[in-house]
Amino acid sequence: MLFLMRIVSGSAGGLHLQVPKGHKIRPTADQVREAIFNILASRFALTDIAVLDLFAGTGALGIEALSRGARSAVFVDASPEAQRVIRANLNTTGLRRQGRIIRAYAPKGIKVAEEQGLCFGGVFLDPPYGEGWVEKTLRLLAHSAILEAEAWIVVEHGQQEESAERYSPLVLTDRRRYGTTGVSFYQRQGEEAA
């Protein structure tokens, strides 16, 4: 059984995405996604950057970024169902050529990106709530070569999950709450700032 969510804005704005119902995939609500992108757009250029969507689920965050002008997106998720849905959603939105899917858990996906020399200007991190993935993945990203000099990271988490303010060179720049969902924004600081 599938229900639909939509791309908020950009070239694919208004198009609906598939979300498998009853699976472990927990999609970001349209309103939260819109708020995230409004904050990003007010602080960063979203056009012509590569983005990484970790724990991608439906791919909605990465696809929203592509719709708004991102150059490319890599989607990382270990679930075969997520891989199928992301592929279908990329096809529906006409963005398949700009998207690539890596079927792996986030740590392995980060390692694959490193091995292939990929670099990203933005990262979406939306792991299962309350399982310790936020802290672990932020630490991996902080020590990874895949982040561009001033890359941003958006972390979606349960309201009870508080991440640290710094995973040097990553620094918390904002934290918001939307119902039971928390969203934290990090930015990679230059060596002189870190």
Q: Has residue 9 been placed in a domain?
A: yes
CB burial of residue 145 (10 Å; 0-12, 13-18, 19+): exposed
pLDDT at position 45: 83
Q: What is the number of structural domains in the chain?
A: 1
Q: Is residue 167 part of a domain?
A: yes
The whole-number pLDDT of residue 14 equals: 58
Cβ-based neighbours of 10, under 8 Å, separated by 6 or more = 64, 66, 67, 68, 69
CATH code of the domain covering residue 91: 3.40.50.150
Asked whether residue 180 is assigned to any structural domain, the reply reads: yes
Residue 107 tokens, joined: 């740590």
Contact in structure between 123 and 54 (CB atoms under 8 Å)? yes
Instruction: Say if 193 falls within a structural domain.
Output: no
Pick out the chain residues at pLDDT < 50.
1-2, 23, 192-194
Does any domain span residue 194?
A: no
Q: List C-alpha distances in Å: 6 to 17, 29, 61, 122.
A: 6, 9, 11, 21
- Decide if 158 contacts 182 (C-beta within 8 A): yes
Per the structure, the complete domain to which residue 174 belongs is given by 2-188
Report pTM: 0.89
In a domain? residue 45: yes
pLDDT given at position 26: 57
In whole angstroms, give the CA distance from residue 75 to residue 101: 5
94 within domain boundaries: yes
